[in-house]
Amino acid sequence: MTTVAISNLPAASAAASSDIIPIVQGGTTKRLTNTQLFTSPTIATPTMTGPILGTVTSGNISACTSTSMILTTPVLSGPALGTVASGNISNCLSTGMVLTTPTMTGPVLGAATGTSLAVTGAVTSSGTAGVGYATGAGGAVTQTVGRTNPTPSINKPTGSITLFSAAGTTAYTSFTVNNNTVAATDSIILSQQSGTDRYELNVTKITAAASFEITFRTTGGTTTETPIFNFAVIKGVAT
C-alpha cells in the first residue's frame, strides 16, 4: 500500500453521520463513525482556576469571593460635577450646566428677612388668631402725677396706660403719651380695657416729636378709679 500524507488526502465535504474516522483505542487502531464521535463522550465540569465572581443578576455581581479583583477608577468623559454631598454639588468645574429658575408652587412671599417682610399685595389671615402684634411688642405705663400731665415714656408700638386715680368727669381732659415709635404719619387705635365708668377716647394730635395726645371724658360717670386704656400704633406713610 502506498503511504500518503494526511495533508495530501483529498478534502472531505460536509461530514455525514456514517463517515468513518480512525482512532487508536487501547493500542489497537479502530474505526469510529461521526455519530459515535459526537454522542458518546461525557462532558466534564470545567475547573475554575481563576477567582469566583459569585452570582450575576441583572448586570450586578453578588456573593463574590474573589480577593484579586481590582476596581479601576472610572474615566469621566463629561464635565466634572465636583463634590456631591447630601444632595448638594460643590466645587463644580462644569461650564455647560444651566441652572433654571425654580417654579414657585406656593404663595410668593415678597422680600423677606429675619426681622421684616415686604409685600406688594394684601396681608390677610383666615385663622382665628387674626393679624396683630406678638408677645414682646407691647408695654405698660402708669400716670403718677395727674391725668393732665404727660405719662412716663412708653416706647412700644402697642400697650396699655393706667390713668392716675381721679373722679370721672364729662369735661374733656387731655394728656400726652411720649412714645419714640410713633411718627407724624402714623395712626393710633384706642380702646378702654377696664374701669367702672365708660369713656370716650380720641387721639387729638400726633407730633413728629415721638408723641401723641389722648383726649377723653366719661359718658356721665364720676367714679374715682384708675381706668386702663389700650393703644396700638398703625404705621403709615405720606407717599
Burial per residue of 137-175, b for 16 or more beta-carbon CB atoms within 10 angstroms, e otherwise: ebbebebeeebeeebeebebbbbbbbbeebebeeeebeb
Mean pLDDT for all residues in the chain: 84
Domain positions in the chain: 138-234
pLDDT one-digit tens code per residue, 131-168: 999 999 999 999 999 999 998 999 999 999 999 999 99
Mean pLDDT of the 218-231 span: 97
pLDDT of residue 184: 93
pLDDT surpasses 70 at 50: no
Q: What is the pLDDT, as a whole number, of residue 198? A: 98
Give the position of cell 461530514: 15
Which cell numbers hold the place of 235?
Answer: 404705621
